[in-house]
Structure 1
Amino acid sequence: MIDALVPVVIATIGAGTAIAFAALGELVTERSGVLNLGVEGEMLVGAIAAFAAASGTGSLWTGVAAGMLAGAAMALLFAFLTLTLMANQVACGLALSIFGVGLSAYVGQAYLNIVLPTQPVLPLPGLSALPVLGPMLFSHQPLVYASWMLLGAVWWFLYRSRAGLKLRSVGESPQSAHALGLPVTRIRYLATMFGGATAGVGGAFLAVMYTPMWVEGMTAGRGWIALALVVFGTWRPARVMLGAYLFGGITVAQLFAQSRGIAVPSQLLAMLPYLATVVVLVIISSNPLRIRLSTPASLGQSFRAAS
């Protein structure tokens, strides 16, 4: 029984890693009061940039860096439109996603028949030899460990650092933060670009490590799931991470069910992660007071400093 569970847990962690990167970055963005719905587009542009760089240079880590920069560039475009030009954040986020889908599909036409070398797992010395837990938790690809470090860094930044306190104050009341002398727009720019960079890394993980090939639309809605997870986790990093693995587990479960030949239509199994997203959001919405208390007060609201 335990031997059968090990590959399921390994696959679950791998499937949830890309979502975790995107969701943790979006959490930081939303904590600053910015609602960026363009995560799906940022992930796709990050994925194709990473794949193109990795296939051109032969270095997977160059690809990851390119994906991070591409995601940050997409977020910078969004920030310029919404924070400088004061465009509607919801409309710009949706446009960014559509733009990212189209741009990645266009650029990716030249890479459809290329397969990158498989990135081997990196067992952690000593820990990977532990019975059961070793193979489950300490024999993964390097970016999986990086996602855990990102979780710790985001938690520490938000709740233990002065910079995190400033960011949260901007998200709660930008007017008060500005009155105290905080550079509200600059903080929001940096938070938005951070979210774009981590979304780009999530896309890069998919393209150069998880499935080392380019497929049009390969994120398959993970960016939208990441957005839902921020709400699901009530803007708390640990809950968001657990949610990412929950949806990763649902994805893996439907793949295992298909491989076992369970007599359920494959289309129904493939829709399970998205059906779970809807169900979770409905359950969360049944307690509007909890959502209202957890949501950054200025989320989605533009801010212009008084002249």
Structure 2
Amino acid sequence: MSLDDFGAAALRRMDPETAHQLALAALKAGLGGRHDARDAVLATRVGPLSLPNPVGLAAGFDKNGEALHGLARGGFGFVECGSVTPRPQPGNPKPRLFRLSEDRAIINRMGFNNAGLEVFARNLARRPEGAVIGANLGANKDTDDKAADYVTGLLRLRGLADYFTVNVSSPNTPGLRNLQGRAALDDLLGRLAEARGPEPLFLKIAPDLTEAEIVMIVEACVAHRMDGLIVSNTTLDRPDSLRSAQAGESGGLSGAPLRDKALTTLGWAHGVSRGRLALIGVGGIASGADAYARIRAGASAVQLYSALIYEGPGLVMSIRRDLADRLKSDGFGSVQEAVGAR
């Protein structure tokens, strides 16, 4: 067990939110992370983005973009920070983060707790050179016109991030997922299209959508010249397989129980988009095999979060090595050659 992974094991014995804050503090202080050798087979593209490897950090870990220098040394091909809302907000009452250890899962009902756009923008302005950094945009809980909040975030952060993600799929902000309906989505995406700069723009969707809803969302994104979809956010479902005593907590479920559902949703999106949108696969990815399955199902890249809590930071390099071996073994010269090859 490496020193980093030993630290991760110690954090798992603490209250989940306290452990999260300590991990962030350690990264800000320069602990953990190291320079890593690159494998040419893993270099890839996601729409217009060039990545050194396809293994990214999902939004939610670094909500304020405060530990980007430490995260950039963690072996990720890209790091997504946020979600950020225009105004600071405390989020939902505690406790609001739960480990389902028996299920290798997490339930959270954080509620977009963050320090707001101005703090976020200052942190992004000091971002590490050479790292690919994305900004995940959210809406304040008490905003009536939530689409306006996304436009505000996009305008304030233009030029500070390499790409933007529009998060309309968190289950912990009342009314947010309603933005995935066609009329609301057309309004939101139309406003964003007018406000956007040159940076790629992705929409993050829920795994709890039907195939017909995925068809509608894909067509709306193509119509408004979005660059891609991130598939998917946490789920409100509670599979019968859950064993943890905390399985009944409200909030979004992530981790291993989400794997199959997120993979199915990704497959639908790939089948409908037919290459018109870049896809990033998220949800239950904990191994090179999981990452490879998403790529073969249509994802150009993947993102991790929950699995890192259980496996430690060494998981990133483990997935990268395994993924490179699988690509070479199957005769692929690059990640892009394997996208959608299932």
**TM, length-normalised to structure 2:** 0.29
Larger Rg: 1
**TM, length-normalised to structure 1:** 0.31
Higher helix share: 1
Higher RCO structure (Cα 8 Å, ≥6 apart)? 1
